[in-house]
Amino acid sequence: MAEDRHGFLGVSLFWRTFALLALLLASGVAAWVGTLRALELEPRAIQAAQQTASLVNLSRAALRQADGINRLTLIKGLSSQRDVRVQPAEPGDRWEPFETDRFSRLVGDQLKSVLGPGTRVARELNGERGLWVGFSIDGDLYWVQADTGHTAALNMTTWGVWISIALISTLLGSGLIARLINRPLKNLSFAASRIRGGDLDSRLDENTLTSEIREVNRGFNRMARELARVEEDRAVMLAGISHDLRTPLARLRLETEMSVEDDEAKRAMANDIDQLDAIIDKFMDYARPGETQMVPVHVAALIDREASAFRDPNQIKIVSKVPRDLHVLADDIELGRVFGNLFENARRYGRGTYTGVAEVVVSYVKTGPWAILSVRDHGQGVAPDKLPQLTTPFFRGDAARTAATGAGLGLAIVDKAMHRMAGQLELANAPEGGLIAHLRLKRANV
């Protein structure tokens, strides 16, 4: 069966809008993060260097004011502090430069600029990590260890937390904005689907704040009102046509029975009247409003009911191979009309070449949640290039069908009824000969 591939391959407008907004906002977040890192790096490095330089200057001033004995006491007292340590430099000290990246280079350069060109800045001294600043007092060298918390660059964990929060906010904001943008279109789509289903009372808000949406809604509502008026006029017209045509036909039948004495002529005239009456029924069926009531339908019982109307075994024989417990989701009247028209079409055009009898077989195949009911005759079939046109109103597939009596609406009515019931009709030539109609409907769990 043919499927609408757009439903599987297409992307909804909501997700497309969401993706574009998310990409835009994520790009903005990335640019913001890059700009923030570039702008905050140098000021933070200068601030860290100034704090460390102040600590070194205080330590140097305190040591300079003390004499030799008091200086040792002061060094021991400072070494007992958790955040600051001062110790004399030894000739065998091993130290590693503090400058390893852009941030540390900025801090080191700033410290040397403030404390003097002879300042040494190390990140490790004799195997002990930290921020070590070396300075001299009266020719004696000292090391000051400062707290490294304010001289460290922001680590990846901190940046990861910030970026994660920004990205989550971006996704939530994109979803909210996309929903607000697409809500009017979603409402329009829902209202259009209701009108397509026959509910002509569907209306959209004409007082929305967006002027373009407001105009679209007003135009849609005007269209819905016009369609409702046309539908009402059509219903009145159909009722009038049915009454006005059947009244003179009833009079003709009565006059034929009373006035025509020739039995052969009487039967011919009665057949013509019956044919006209059947054609009126076909027109009424085709023009019938599309209101359906979807309920579980017992298929086997419905087929038996419709087949009982074709009693003449010299014209048609109907065999049903549908299981007795099969139920489909459909409208009972519409589905009965479908099978009635298919049986009538087979009786008219699907008779066997040698027997002159239309042998019809109804079978069933289950595929997932769907039931495919097949109605096949054993006639001559239809030319493959004309199969797609069989559901066109008033179209007949060949000369024999053109010469046949009928309105040319049977398969058009079947196709229209199947669409009303959310099903599908597919016509094909059977491999062994004859025309086969596949009816695809949802199975009902009963």
pLDDT in tens, 92-125: 888 888 887 777 788 888 888 888 877 888 888 8
Gyration radius from the chain CA atoms: 45
3 state SS of 431: coil
Q: Which of 304, 292, 307 is nearest to 442 (CA)?
A: 292
Instruction: Please give the angle made by the CA atoms of 197, 201 and 206, to the nearest 5 degrees.
Output: 120
DSSP code at position 81: S
- The secondary structure of 319-339 as a DSSP string is EE---TT-EEEE-HHHHHHHH
Q: What is the CATH number of domain 197-291?
A: 1.10.287.130
Phi and psi at 127, nearest 5°, equal: 85, 0
Our measurement of the distance from residue 89's CA atom to the centroid of its chain's CA atoms, rounded to an integer in Å, reads: 72
State the pLDDT at residue 403. Answer: 42
State the pLDDT at residue 9. Answer: 39
Domain boundaries, the chain: 14-156, 197-291, 293-442
* Gap between the Cα atoms of 172 and 31, Å rounded: 19
What superfamily does domain 14-156 belong to in CATH? Sensor histidine kinase RisS, periplasmic domain (3.30.450.300)
Q: Which of 147, 149, 127, 140 is nearest to 87 (CA)?
A: 140
* Gap between the Cα atoms of 167 and 22, Å rounded: 9
Residue type for position 434: G
Residue whose entry in the numeric block shows the structure tokens 């017992």: 298
Burial of 362 (0-12, 13-18, 19+ CB in 10 A): buried
State the pLDDT at residue 155. Answer: 58
Residue type for position 358: A
State the pLDDT at residue 227. Answer: 81
State the pLDDT at residue 364. Answer: 92
Residue whose entry in the numeric block shows the structure tokens 């020719």: 139
A 10 A CB-CB count for 371 gives 23
State the pLDDT at residue 326. Answer: 92
Model pTM score:
0.48
Is the Cβ–Cβ distance between 270 and 253 less than 8 Å? Answer: yes
Task: Give per-residue pLDDT as tens, 248-274.
Answer: 777 777 777 777 777 777 777 777 777
Report the top-level CATH class of 293-442. Answer: alpha beta
State the pLDDT at residue 319. Answer: 92
3 state SS of 86: strand
State the pLDDT at residue 39. Answer: 64
Q: Which of 22, 18, 20, 42 is nearest to 30 (CA)?
A: 22
State the pLDDT at residue 80. Answer: 61
Residue type for position 153: A
List the chain residues with pLDDT less than 50: 1-10, 399-404
State the pLDDT at residue 108. Answer: 81
Is the Cβ–Cβ distance between 394 and 407 less than 8 Å? Answer: yes
